[in-house]
A and B are shown apart, each in its own frame.
Chain A
Amino acid sequence: MAEGIKDRVAIVGMGCTKFGERWDMSAQSLIVEAFIEAIEDAGIEKKDIDAAWSGTCYEEVSLGKSAIPLAVTLKLPFIPATRVENFCATGSEALRGACYAVAAGAYDICLAVGVEKLKDTGYGGLPQNDTQQGTTLRFAFPNFTPPGAFAMMGTRYFAQYGLSPQEGKRALAHISVKSHHNGTMNPKAHLRREITIDEVMNAPIIAWPLGLFDCCGVSDGAAAAIVTSPEIAKKLRPDPVYVKSLQVAASSGEEIMCTEWDYAHVESTIRASQRAYREAGITSPRDEISMMEVHDCFSITELTIYEDLGISPRGRAKEDIEAGFFDLDGTIPCQPDGGLKCFGHPIGASGLRMMYEMYKQLQGKAGPRQIKDPKFGLTHNMGGIPPLNVVSVSIVGH
């Protein structure tokens, strides 16, 4: 019986670029910026790295396929290098590859890098690609965008729990206002200004019922992590962060093909988080998790994540949201760095960016947004759309 990887891997160095419209930076330059911060933070040299994972989603823009661009950019000396891709959960997948390799005892020190250069398409939003769901489904899928695919979860959630569009949108607005507030305290965040409930409610609609401020930033950026064994970690620094759990769940197809699934939750989040809690030894997440960085690609996504992670009761996340439970000074601060909403969402980097915030918070280095004495940090990184997705849930701590 497999035991999982709890406390068998430590994060000893992390780097993250400023996210945003980095018109003057290529994907390669972003990688270098994140990488240098990570190895300096870990106090290692390039030659100490045994293997590397490169996470990038949209190969059509910037880097292209394979891990070769990562290896060439960093001049890695013929070490094992692998590219991973799992839609927006790509960054977590790069970290998982590196951590599992250390946990397996295959290598001492591994590098995970995630990067995305989204602002080279010439239009707003994510790159349009007819064949993202495959060349067969291309013929049969609606002409959708991510906001629309998640907006349908809003329509359904409102209908299922009897919320009028105004009531529902107001609860969602709280989520965005909170993240914008946190983002003002983060110099690396893409969007750094306070917004009001009224601004969110009155913003132009992107995909009904979601408006502009219900959608996260589309950004350029990169993030990197150096992981190693607990033994080596203790020699490198006094405050390594230990991996308690890294779990992933992918849709089985029953959501989009059978009629049981309600489109008001993400089944993979439930499955991945339950496995993560088990691996980490957490029995009551609402009482034990100290802070979270979740996949708030859209405000409705964050609302349903609260319930799917078992933090808020089913159908009642609105009460927690409106009570300030997830605010920076609340019981479980969520998105202390501003989240995808304000830090921004360079796809391949986002999972590692979430971990960067948990890592800094656990080390007490989060500056004005520092959370008091956090014990367990959780990251939730989702790729795909509510009916077809892959979700990664990670838990880290001291």
Chain B
Amino acid sequence: MAGITSYGAYIPIYRINRMTIYQALGWLNPASLLPGEKSVANYDEDSITMAVASAIDCLNGVEREAIDGLFFATTTTPYKERQNAGIIATALDLRPEIRTSDFTTSIKAGTGALISAYDAVTSGSAKNVIVCASDCRLGKPGGFQEEIYGDGAAAFLLGNNGVIASVEGTYSVSYDFVDNWRAAEDKYNRTWEDRWIRDEGYGKFISEAISGLLREYNLTPGDFAKVVYPCLYVRAHAGIGKKLGFEPAQIQDHMFTAIGHTGTASTLMILVAALEDAKPGDKILVASYGNGSDALFLQVTDEIEKARERRGIKGHLASKKDLGSYEKYTTFREILDIDTGGRGEEVASTQLSTLWRERKMILGLCGSKCRRCGTPQYPPQEICANPKCGAIHEMDSYRFSDKKGRLFTYTGDVLAFSPSPPAVYGMVDFEGGGRWLFDLNDCELESLEVGMPVEMSFRRKYHDVSRGIHAYFWKATPIRA
């Protein structure tokens, strides 16, 4: 039996109320006001960092050596050439003898990756494949899309052992239906008329995939505890399920008013929410959307109870801060070209050969642990840093990214350039030993205290636009409730 063996999710801590956006630019398009709020990635977050965060949630308690594949689905790859899945795999400290792929250019790519991972574990060519889906799309300032798109990620582990929800069947339809598009040179999405998208796109493809699956496996809507699918239009979302014969209670919430439409991650995030409430024996029907639709039929097992320790959707939904300002949102997304000052313009070239050599240290946050005295240390050392030891070449690799820490000291620096000043950083002492200086984020200076617990979060360290470099490293954040 193959299927989902673990799940995880990530929603950035910031939300922006759609009224905040409307207050800034509603005068351009008075009819554009939509209800609720949407999730906003911090200035140092993107599809890659959110994918890593969801994968960490998913891999809670999972031995990373056991993973032999990573598929990443997104339409917002920070790199068009340089495999984004490879960055994620290195950040997760997965071993190199694995297969990695990017699934992209359609928001249906999340379910595409999920089905491919399922096929891989079913065929036996891989034992445990992790699928991460995330998106961080941009709508042009003042348009509907800007209010619609939210940021987030979901991750699933697929395998044959400890299956919490088996995949019992799939059904796909694929069409070159150009409702949303973004050419290679575009920063923002473009769309065709929304009534057409609603009726001829969402209204037809999700129904076609679900009906096809029900027919193929001889099922009826009444067989399912939950049905999961996205829709841009709140009222139309309910209508699609109703028309197919589902009761309102069977339809999993779309989260559109809480976080917005998270693109490739959207369907999978809704699925995580469904699994959080699922009971052994439940059947779940999933259908994605985007240039057609993929439908999956899942059967929840007794093992589901073992996968509850996740921040998941519920944890992340509950933990939020209001960004409060449209100008801050556009600064974070590099829409507003702010004056960084001379200091902010100083970016040295990035030595990619150094990054390659030290990839475990930089992207994987791996240090070393002395075999002789047991002292963990970062960065990895050849000679033990413990003055009472000093052993030479007796080190094992030691991963810090999954260790909690305590904030030993900190500051909020107004002189250092930051898109969200002050630049907050401090010294972190890790549980079990080892310490280092880290940038901190997702927190206000006033909320910090010496000794408070922190955890590590993979973030974009800088974006060197002139050289096409998104550089990544780890930051510390207060432990998210």
Contact = CB atoms under 8 A, between A and B. Distances in A.
Interface of A: 121-125, 127-131, 135-145, 147-148, 151-156, 159, 204-210, 252-254, 256-259, 263, 387
Contacts of A135: 351, 354
B82 interface: no
Chief secondary structure at chain A's binding surface: loop
Nearest to A157: B409
Given A205-B412, A208-B413, A257-B378, 10 more contacts: A128-B342, A142-B439, A152-B410, A154-B411, A155-B411, A159-B451, A205-B414, A253-B381, A257-B385, A258-B433
Most chain A CB within 10 A, of B381, B435, B451, is at: B435
B355 interface: yes
Nearest to B348: A130
B450 interface: yes
B169 interface: no
Contacts of B417: 128, 143
Interface string B373-407: 00101110100011100000000000000000000
A143 B412 contact: no
A128 B340 CA distance: 13
A242 B365 CA distance: 51
19 contacts: A125-B343, A127-B346, A128-B342, A129-B348, A140-B361, A140-B473, A142-B423, A142-B437, A143-B425, A152-B427, A154-B411, A205-B422, A208-B412, A209-B411, A252-B385, A256-B437, A258-B385, A258-B387, A387-B437
A133 B375 CA distance: 23
B471 interface: yes
Given A252-B387, A257-B381, A148 B411 contact: yes
A207 B426 CA distance: 12
A145 B439 CA distance: 12
B413 A130 contact: no
B439 to A, nearest CB: 4
B473 A145 contact: no
Interface in B408-456: 408-418, 422-423, 425-427, 429, 433-439, 445, 450-451
Most B CB contacts (10 A, CB to CB) among A145, A151, A258 go to: A258
A139 B412 contact: no
A258 B386 contact: yes
Contact of A139 (B346, B355, B408, B414): B355
B247 to A, nearest CB: 53
Nearest to B390: A252
Given A152-B427, A259-B434, A208 B385 contact: no
Contacts of B413: 144-145, 147-148, 151, 206-208
B346 A130 contact: yes
Interface string B183-198: 0000000000000000
B434 A206 contact: no
A258 B425 contact: no
B409 A153 contact: yes
Nearest to A155: B409
A145 B424 CA distance: 11
A207 B414 contact: yes
Contacts of B445: 208
Contact of A256 (B387, B422, B435): B435
Given A139-B355, A140-B362, A140-B379, A156 B450 contact: yes
B387 A254 contact: yes
Contact of B411 (A123, A140, A141, A152): A152
A137 B416 CA distance: 17
B85 to A, nearest CB: 20
Nearest first, the 3 A-B pairs at minimum CB distance are A148-B413, A123-B342, A142-B425
B468 interface: no
A166 to B, nearest CB: 15
A139 B461 contact: yes
B342 to A, nearest CB: 4
B438 A148 contact: no
Given A128-B346, A155-B410, A257 B435 contact: yes
Nearest to A134: B354
B385 A123 contact: no
A159 B450 contact: yes
B341 interface: yes
